[in-house]
Structure 1
Amino acid sequence: MRVAVIGCTHAGTAAIVNTAKLYPEAEITVYERNDNISFLSCGIALYVGGVVKDPQGLFYSSPEQLAELGVKTKMLHEVTAVDTDRKQLTARNLQTGEEFADHFDKLIVTTGSWPVVPRFPGIELDNIILSKNFNHSNMIIEKGKEAQNIVVVGAGYIGIELVEAFQMNGKNVTLIDAEERILSKYLDAEYTDVIEDTLRERGIALALGEKVVRFEGEEGRVNAVITDHGRYAADVVILCIGFKPNTELLKGQVDMLDNGAIIVDEYMRTSKNDVFAAGDSCAVYYNPLKSHAYIPLATNAVRMGTLAARNLLTPTVKYLGTQGTSGIKIYENNIAATGLTESAAREAGLEADSVLVTDSYRPEFMPTHEKVTLKLVYEQGTNRILGAQIMSKVDLTQAINTISVCIQNDMKMEELAFVDFFFQPHFNKPWNFLNSAGLQVLPEVPAQEIVHV
């Protein structure tokens, strides 16, 4: 069995390693157009900020390790065409320019995503950088050394982590986003208001609700970002606007969402026989909405890549879908979220409501008992849990993994109220804060039904 894999980051590495172990007789060839594989792009801000000293720790595999499994890895090779009917691909060696054809019995497409780059006037100026791969991270660090004014465009997770890293390195930092709130896809205003205040207190300028119009520069190098509201000095600009699936190779050959994300079934099969896909190139089944959505996350990618390998010959293990669970640490605040925010649920047409719990995470008689803020979003009428968000100066983020399981299993708020959680004063209260959120939705007992003894 000849297996071809296109792309080798999160999903690709998981698919390759598992395919090699499960089918030792398979002839596996990997095509990767970069000069490295398996880079943890979520560690870029940690590398930029100096938390990670040795970037080699951000790689979790190598061509040498794959070779030990019998895998042939073709680095700096770009696949230029795929014919899924003839089971053939065309690749180009980026070092020599040589083009050649290869055939496969099974194809796993893990081509990932690429940053959205709007064609703003001035986009060609030097020191305007993307934030996606290892080469980008090195460029950000190198360009940032001499820069004093850093502008980050895009207030998602990557953008927020980068402005924090640069501020801690003593830079003048501006964060620009067209949305009125930071992290608006992940958190409701109860959280983003607090985080925005924290960023401003640290001296980070927030230009929210502003759209970039153009970049200006001198001698070919950027020196300002112009929005529809103002002008911001910039020695370096980092674009973190979002990601789009890298799927041109299969356009018109397999089913896709409107944005080009490949639609796969629960076994990672595309609409074409013997063609599998996984990771950021794909749509995922989003349990809160019971539909496919584009949610590029490393966690989704490694699960999907593993499943693609396990189901390569026979449908064996089903994908359970995703809640889009994620977490971030911003200065002293530990934050995590899963499923729908209240605003996103309403935008999706759901009749949503929420409860907000703010409490000490453990008994007040303990030496410390920091506050935790938990928000649960649920569907009116059914009380089905749709999403949750948490923030505390204590790391309580694992609670969001619990809620992720609840959403995956269609649990209701009243069921969460009475889930069995342990109690120990070092860790929590007799009523865990998750129970407390569920309890708030229980109906009151009508007065006439109360029996006095």
Structure 2
Amino acid sequence: MGKRMVVVGGVAGGASAAAKAKRENPDLEVVVYEKSGFVSYGACGLPYVLSGEIPSLERLIARTPEEFRKQGIGVHPHHEVVDINPEERVLTVFDHGEGRTFQDRYDYLVLATGARPTLPPIPGTEQAGVYTLRSMEDGERLLRALEGARRAAILGAGYIGLEVAEAFRKRGLEVTLLEAKDRPLPHWDEEVGTLLRGELERHGVEVWTGVRVLALRGSGRVEAVETSEGVVPADLVLIATGVRPNTELAQAMGVALGPTGAIATDERMRTNLEGVFAAGDVAESFHRVLGRPYWLPLGDVANKHGRTAGSVIAGKEARFHGVVGTAIFKAFRLAVATTGLSWEAALREGYRAKKAFIQSRDGAHYYPGSAPLWVELVYEEGTDRLLGGAVVAHGHGALRVDVLAALLHRRGTLEDLLALDLAYAPPYSPVWDPLLIAAQQAR
């Protein structure tokens, strides 16, 4: 009889773990319990459904429960795992559909319970008209809300807040973006924030930075956001002030958390408990620049976690080699990509960090339609080791960030970057690639 693998949570990390394990070892019995009504979908696409660019939420679904079952994987939506006994390897599951509780057993367990939005400690967040965006159900609620909304306030100018600001503008809403720090995308450096602010304001988004949100006003339904700088009328409020890992189940069964507050794992995604793995937004990663555990709740990382856990459970050799913190997002016509440490973060970490920031173009200056492109390089004074970087462009030119990410994975230097043979043709790059121009300036 084959071993039994149970996955708790069936979105990115959980679905990847289940599919990979079953593919690598068809004798494994694989079962997935998912609390919500949806499994295996691209949550990163939710803002583009809100904008109307993607016509329906169904387009985001990678695999349905029926498709998993054809693969021999038992997927159970609306099933919440409420307790786990690791000594006996027994789970207690609540079936929301039938209102009953039952028990199941496992040989291998994958915790992929994800993360959830954090709500600021202010009055009024429980009112109608106040939303978060994390799940398909959140997307359904927001789509319905957009039909009658006229003015939106967004709390938080990170990835979600910025993407949804664009979506709401495309739907014709008036939008005010409220950020406690002094710029949009506050975890990165000032130059990128300045470019972002200009792009947002050009497209009609009102940007308030350095503001404290004091309360959401209304009597049962939100009517305005009260801030330290004044009152913003709003009939729809999106809270995008961050997320935290769903570790309650893990903690209750004795799974150890790491320094970030997410589940600690080794490079095979194993936890401190025998037979128990973790994957996705509930688990830590290892940051190759910082050399320590790091929490990076992104979809591509979750999928890699899941594939690694699934391979190991299936008896194959696999390791997750860590992250350098690479991310990219779209804000109207700008693509903003970052990797590694910002200059400010590098200074906080104790590096003798310097930065170079240049403006170039995404094609030859004489090529029709070429557009401005900006590069920031962050490096260590003395060693010239690369610590991070950003590329801001009008389109796919921002994917140059992947060159920097690859160098960060190998502890590369400015000299290593200058030695690279990068692609050149007038439609795609100046004869000196913008990355090389930035490296020359830094050196």
TM class, shorter-chain normalised? over 0.9
Q: How much has 1:398 moved relative to structure 2?
A: 1.9
Q: State yes or no: 1:296 paired with 2:289.
A: no
Q: What is the alpha-carbon root mean square deviation over aligned residues?
A: 1.6
Q: How much has 1:392 moved relative to structure 2?
A: 1.8
Q: How much has 1:145 moved relative to structure 2?
A: 1.5
Cα displacement string for residues 341-377 of structure 1 (whole angstroms, at most 9, x for unaligned residues): 1111112222211112222333333334322111111
- What's the counterpart of residue 238 of structure 1? 238
- What is the number of equivalent residue pairs in this alignment? 440
Q: Is the 8 Å Cα contact of residues 115 and 132 (structure 1) preserved in structure 2?
A: yes
Cα displacement string for residues 302-342 of structure 1 (whole angstroms, at most 9, x for unaligned residues): 11100001111546122111122111121211221111111
Q: Look up the SS of the partner of 2:396 in the other structure.
A: coil
TM-score (norm. length: structure 1): 0.94
> Residues 422 and 162 from structure 1, CA distance in 2 versus in 1: closer, same or farther, beyond 3 angstroms?
closer
Q: State yes or no: 1:29 paired with 2:57.
A: no
- What's the counterpart of residue 338 of structure 1? 339
Q: Is the 8 Å Cα contact of residues 223 and 235 (structure 2) preserved in structure 1?
A: yes
> Residues 369 and 204 from structure 1, CA distance in 2 versus in 1: closer, same or farther, beyond 3 angstroms?
closer
Distance (whole Å) between structure 2 residues aligned to residue 436 and residue 311 of structure 1: 43
Distance (whole Å) between structure 1 residues aligned to residue 93 and residue 227 of structure 2: 41
Q: Is the 8 Å Cα contact of residues 371 and 393 (structure 1) preserved in structure 2?
A: yes
Distance (whole Å) between structure 1 residues aligned to residue 203 and residue 368 of structure 2: 29
Q: State yes or no: 1:229 paired with 2:226.
A: no
Q: Is the 8 Å Cα contact of residues 414 and 441 (structure 1) preserved in structure 2?
A: no
Q: Look up the SS of the partner of 1:30 in the other structure.
A: strand
Q: Is the 8 Å Cα contact of residues 251 and 260 (structure 1) preserved in structure 2?
A: no
- What's the counterpart of residue 450 of structure 1? none
> Residues 148 and 293 from structure 1, CA distance in 2 versus in 1: closer, same or farther, beyond 3 angstroms?
same
Task: Output the amino acid matched with 1:124.
Answer: E
Q: Look up the SS of the partner of 2:397 in the other structure.
A: coil
- What's the counterpart of residue 92 of structure 1? 94
Q: Is the 8 Å Cα contact of residues 36 and 78 (structure 2) preserved in structure 1?
A: yes
Q: State yes or no: 1:210 paired with 2:211.
A: yes
Q: Map of 1:115-264 to 2, 5 A cutoff?
A: 115-185=117-187, 187-218=188-219, 220-251=220-251, 253-258=254-259, 260-264=261-265
Q: Which runs of 5+ in 1 are unaligned?
A: 443-453
Q: Look up the SS of the partner of 2:76 in the other structure.
A: strand
Q: Is the 8 Å Cα contact of residues 390 and 400 (structure 1) preserved in structure 2?
A: yes
**Range moving further from structure 2, 64-73 or 310-319:** 310-319
TM-score (norm. length: structure 2): 0.96
Q: How much has 1:39 moved relative to structure 2?
A: 2.4
Q: How much has 1:201 moved relative to structure 2?
A: 2.8
Q: How much has 1:46 moved relative to structure 2?
A: 0.6
Q: Map of 1:302-341 to 2, 5 A cutoff?
A: 302-314=303-315, 316-341=317-342
Q: Which runs of 5+ in 2 are unaligned?
A: none
**Range moving further from structure 2, 251-260 or 273-282:** 251-260
Q: How much has 1:426 moved relative to structure 2?
A: 3.1
Q: Look up the SS of the partner of 2:59 in the other structure.
A: helix
Distance (whole Å) between structure 2 residues aligned to residue 198 and residue 431 of structure 1: 26
**Range moving further from structure 2, 309-318 or 45-54:** 309-318
> Residues 221 and 307 from structure 1, CA distance in 2 versus in 1: closer, same or farther, beyond 3 angstroms?
same
Q: Is the 8 Å Cα contact of residues 370 and 394 (structure 1) preserved in structure 2?
A: no
Q: Is the 8 Å Cα contact of residues 262 and 283 (structure 1) preserved in structure 2?
A: yes
Q: How much has 1:54 moved relative to structure 2?
A: 2.5
Distance (whole Å) between structure 1 residues aligned to residue 238 and residue 367 of structure 2: 44
Q: Map of 1:369-384 to 2, 5 A cutoff?
A: 369-384=370-385
Q: Is the 8 Å Cα contact of residues 297 and 324 (structure 1) preserved in structure 2?
A: no
Task: Output the amino acid matched with 1:180.
Answer: D
